[in-house]
Amino acid sequence: MNDGWKKELIHLLASARSEGELSDLLQSLLTPSEWEELAKRWQIVKRLIEGDPQRGVRDDLQVSIATITRGSREIQYGSGILQKFYKRLHH
């Protein structure tokens, strides 16, 4: 994928002036299943940061262990951006 496209998308999302406007934009860009998947991925990350066991997350959210493992690896070895945003929302 073209990096210029990614940067343009970042600027587009950052230009939203309210939560409602961002929600409208995302709903226009994403299919209902993509929107649901994105929201679910955040719930996975949030629950892992909060210390919930992977099997409990799997059972509650009905997702594969592979999907949970991806989130777990990003939390453990990633840049820390997920924890940064979690703290921003919960403090």
DSSP-assigned states of every residue in the chain? --HHHHHHHHHHHHT--SHHHHHHHHHHHS-HHHHHHHHHHHHHHHHHHTT--HHHHHHHHT--HHHHHHHHHHHHHS-SHHHHHHHHHH-
**Into how many domains does the chain fold?**
2
**pTM of the entire structure?**
0.86
Same domain for 61 and 88, yes or no, is yes
| 87 lies in the same domain as 46 | yes
- Structural domain boundaries, residue 12: 1-30
Residues 22 and 62 occupy one common structural domain: no
The verdict on 51 and 79 lying in the same domain is yes
Same domain, 36 and 18: no
Write the pLDDT tens digit of every residue in 42-79.
Answer: 999 999 999 999 999 999 999 999 999 999 999 999 99
Task: Check whether residue 20 and residue 38 sit in a common domain.
Answer: no
Is residue 56 domain-shared with residue 74, that is, in the same domain?
yes
The mean predicted confidence, pLDDT, of the chain is 95
